[in-house]
Structure 1
Amino acid sequence: MLNRVIQQFGLKVLSVNEVEDSHSSTVYKCILSNGDNVFLKIPFTKLKYQRELEAYEILKGRVSIPEMMDFWTGDEDCPGAFLLSELKGKPLTSNATPTIAFRVGVLQAEMHSIRPLSEQMLTGIKNEFPNWSNFVEQQFYSFAEDVRDILDEQLYKKAIEKFEKMKQQLPSPDGPSFVHMDFRPANIIVDDDKVSGIIDFESVRFGSTEVDFTKLYRDFLSYDVSLYNAYQEGYNSIRPLIDIENVLPFYRFTDAFNSIGWSKRRGIEKNALFLEENLSRLKKWLL
């Protein structure tokens, strides 16, 4: 399939390397004969392809993202593919400065400022905001079918009871906004003291902003209060930030639970470390 995609885009390639930490697509970094670096992205499904395609149309010129140089609609064997420019830099790490954290806040707030337009005809990206509570519940109980096979019966029952109790305590959702659904350091590219942009849009929705803080907090903001404070300042410079502390417990809990189900679906052996991390997180919430 890779060779077919390379031929489809007419690329003259010197070398190809698969990109790690890409969970909903197969991504390759290619060095071309002219020395340029580009990325080939092949989503796992047609729906993920369509979401990505529409996201690039919506975000272009409004949020810093790679340039979509070309795309292929695919065929019966391939759901589609994208040819993307390289964002200068490397994925965000917890070693970043408060200046970077501030700019990450600005980037996310710019994305959250985008609202659905009635004239937009979208087939991949759904507006889940009007039924946000149902959307969150459907996601949770979809993964619950997989989680049931991992947890012992008593722990599983406690998790279900905690979800139902915490869900009742949520404030009114904030939106409708363009939400990434996988806003984590691996998808945020930084270059020295600049944020080059954000990548990977296979899971995007229009929904409540509250869902988008969880993974960033889990993998970045929770490490240093100075990063957390600078991030909030950056976000608030663009749009008002919700009371994150009010919603984080619920979304951190459901993230750990859903991640256990995701690990089961994608293969326990391949995702053993991620599974153990989230089992530990879940048990801290329940025991």
Structure 2
Amino acid sequence: MLNRVIEQFRLKVSSIDEVEDSHSSTVYKCNLSNGENVFLKIPFTKLKYQRELEAYEILKGSVPIPEMIDYWSGDEECPGAFLLSELKGNSLSTKAKPTIAFQVGVLQAKMHSIRPPAEKALSGIKNEFPNWSHFVEEQFYSFAEDVRDILDEHLYNKAIETFKRMKQELPSAVGPSFVHMDFRPANIIVDEEKVSGVIDFESVRFGSTEIDFTKLYRDFLSYDDSLYIAYQEGYNSIRPLIDLENVLPFYRFTDAFNSIGWCKRRGIENNALFLKENVVRLKKWLL
């Protein structure tokens, strides 16, 4: 399939490396014969392809993203593919300075300021906001089918009870906003002292902003109070930040639970470390 995509885009490739930490697509970094680096991205499903395509159209000019050089709608064997420019830099690190955290806050706030386009019908990105409570519940119970096979019965039942209780305590949802759904350091590119942009839009929705802070907090903001404070200042410079202390506990809990289910679906052996981390996180909430 890779060779077919290379032929489709008529690329003259010198070398190819598969990109790690890409969970909803197969991504390759290609060095071309002219010395330029580009990325080939092949989503796992047609729906993920369509979401990505629409996201690039919606975000262009509003949020820093790679340039979509070309795209292919695929065929019976391939769900589609994208040819993307390279964002200079590396993935966000917990060693970043507060000035970078401020920029990350600005970037996410700009993304959350985008509302569903009134003039364009979308077939990939769904507006989940009108039924947000149902959407969150549907996601949780979908993964619960997989989590049941991992946890002992007592812990599993306690998780279900905790979900019901915490969900009732949530404040009113805020939106509809463009939510990334996988806004984590691996998808935020930093070039020295500047945030270059954000990548990977296979899971995006229009929904409540409250769900979109969880992974960033888990993998970045929770490591240093100065990062957390700077991030909030950056976000607030664009739009008011919701009271995260009211929503993060619920979404951190559901993130740990859902991640256990995700590991079961994607293969326990290949995701053993991530599975162990989330079982520990879940037990902290429950025990």
TM-score range (shorter-chain normalised) is: over 0.9
Does residue 1:97 correspond to 2:97, yes or no? yes
CA distance in 2, matches of 1:140, 1:175: 20
The aligned amino acid for 1:15 is: S
Q: Are 2:202 and 1:207 aligned?
A: no
**TM-score with structure 2 setting the length:** 1.00
1:60 aligned partner: 60
Q: How does 1:55-204 map to 2 (within 5 A)?
A: 55-204=55-204
How far does residue 36 in structure 1 lie from its aligned partner after superposition? Answer: 0.2
What whole-Å deviation, never above 9, does each CA across 1:107-158 have from its counterpart, x for those lacking one? Answer: 0000000001222110000000000000000000000000000000010000
Per-residue CA distance 1:214-251 (angstroms, 9 max, x = gap): 00000000000000000000000000000001100000
The separation in 2 between residues aligned to 1:117 and 1:95, in whole angstroms, is 37
Match of 1:39 in 2: 39
- The equivalent residue for 1:17 is 17
Give the aligned partner of residue 221 of structure 1: 221
After superposition, give the CA deviation of every residue in 1:179-200 in whole Å (9 maximum; x if it has no partner): 0000000000001110000000
User: Aligned partners of 1:130, 1:118: CA distance in 2, in Å?
Assistant: 15
Matched residue SS, 1:268: coil
Deviations 1:145-178 (A, max 9, x none): 0000000001000000000000000000011000
| CA deviation map 1:57-78 (0-9, x unaligned) | 0000110000000000000000
CA distance in structure 2 between the partners assigned to 1:30 and 1:2 by the alignment: 11
Structure-1-length-normalised TM-score: 1.00
Q: 2: distance between equivalents of 1:32 and 1:96?
A: 31
Matched residues, percent identical? 83
Q: Distance in 2 between matches of 1:261 and 1:112?
A: 27
Q: CA RMSD in A?
A: 0.4
Q: Does 1:234 align with 2:234?
A: yes
Structure 2: give runs of 5+ residues left out of the alignment: none
- SS of the equivalent of 2:175 reads coil
Q: Secondary structure at the match of 1:71?
A: strand
Question: Structure 2 CA distance, aligned partners of 1:216 and 1:193?
Answer: 19
Q: For 2:198 and 2:248, how far apart are their aligned partners in 1?
A: 22
- Corresponding letter in the other structure for 1:155: L
Superposed, 1:1-16 pairs within 5 Å as 1-16=1-16
AA aligned to 2:263 is S
- In the TM superposition, 1:233-252 aligns within 5 A as 233-252=233-252
Q: Which amino acid aligns with 1:284?
A: K
Number of equivalenced pairs? 287
> Matched residue of 2:14: which SS?
strand
Structure 1 spans left out of the alignment, 5+ residues: none
